[in-house]
Amino acid sequence: MGRTVRHVFVAGCVLLWLIPLYLLVVNALTPAAEYAGKPEWTFQGFALLDNLDTAWDVAGIGDSFQSSLLYAVVCGLLAVLVAAMAAFAVVVLPIPRPAFWFWLIYSGTLFPLQMFLAPLFGLYADANLYDTRIGLMLVYTAWAVPFAFFLIRNQLTTMPPELTEAALLDGASFPRIFWRIHVPLMKAGLGAAFIFQFTAVWNDLLLGITLSRSPDVQPVMAALTTLNNAYSSAGPPVILAGALIVSAPTLVLFLVFRGLFLRGVTASAR
């Protein structure tokens, strides 16, 4: 009986996820001129390529797509690198009060992002970083570090300290121990942390609309809201086609690296 209830619950959750996806695809295929003003449940034609082309041009999603790809890849990698070094310092290096440093870094995930928006906006305006790619890259990297640090630190705590002790006895320095021993052993955790941060940066809207306005600087989620504001001229099928464009990178990333992601999450949860 318990197994049946679990299967029914899981099937219901899958159905709740598939229905909106089905509506998204069906209505993105509908020609914009033939859209009746309400969601279509059956295929009314195939105008996906036209809708994608319009979405790419109307809101400048093409430029924003490239910008978001740059932000997600570069900032994700930088955040994971900084987080790995910080986790190594907290777990492996003989620093005083490691618990204090852990909570100091991890506290970045505990406060709502909205409380930083006003100070960030003022700071960026004064420093001429507003509406610049480097400004967004700085804040995205800093924003992504705390959670990546949490994941990587959890995996580091599962590694036996004898590894470090043996390397020190052999004359290895701490940087060499980090790059030659711990980084290879943490590949799965580093990969999982990167996937998390890539997804977080890619899906960001709040920082994007607060700290940028130009189409070639704004992240793709902000461009999608611009397309949504053009509702009357573009039409829902075009907006949904834009949503398909925005959804593709994170879906492809997870499908390609799902094995690495699961291994990394498992290693960090031990």
Architecture of domain 54-269: Orthogonal Bundle (1.10)
If one compares 71 and 174, the residue with the highest pLDDT of the two is 71
List helix spans (H) across the chain. 2-29, 48-58, 61-70, 76-91, 98-106, 114-126, 133-156, 162-169, 174-177, 183-185, 187-202, 206-211, 220-229, 231-234, 236-256, 258-269
Q: What is the pLDDT of residues 117-168, one digit of tens each?
A: 889 999 999 999 999 999 999 999 999 999 999 999 988 888 888 888 888 8
Q: Where are the domains of the chain?
A: 1-46, 54-269
Tell me if 167 sits within 8 A of 181, measured CB to CB.
Answer: yes
- Is pLDDT at 44 greater than 90 in this prediction? no
- pTM for the model stands at 0.84
Q: What is the pLDDT of residues 15-43, one digit of tens each?
A: 888 888 887 788 777 777 667 667 777 77
Q: What is the pLDDT of residues 211-267, one digit of tens each?
A: 998 888 999 988 888 776 655 555 677 778 888 888 888 888 888 887 776 777 676
Q: What is the pLDDT of residues 93-105, one digit of tens each?
A: 888 998 999 999 9
Phi-psi region of 68 (alpha: psi -120 to 50; beta: other; left: phi over 0): alpha
Query: What is the residue-averaged pLDDT of the chain?
Result: 85
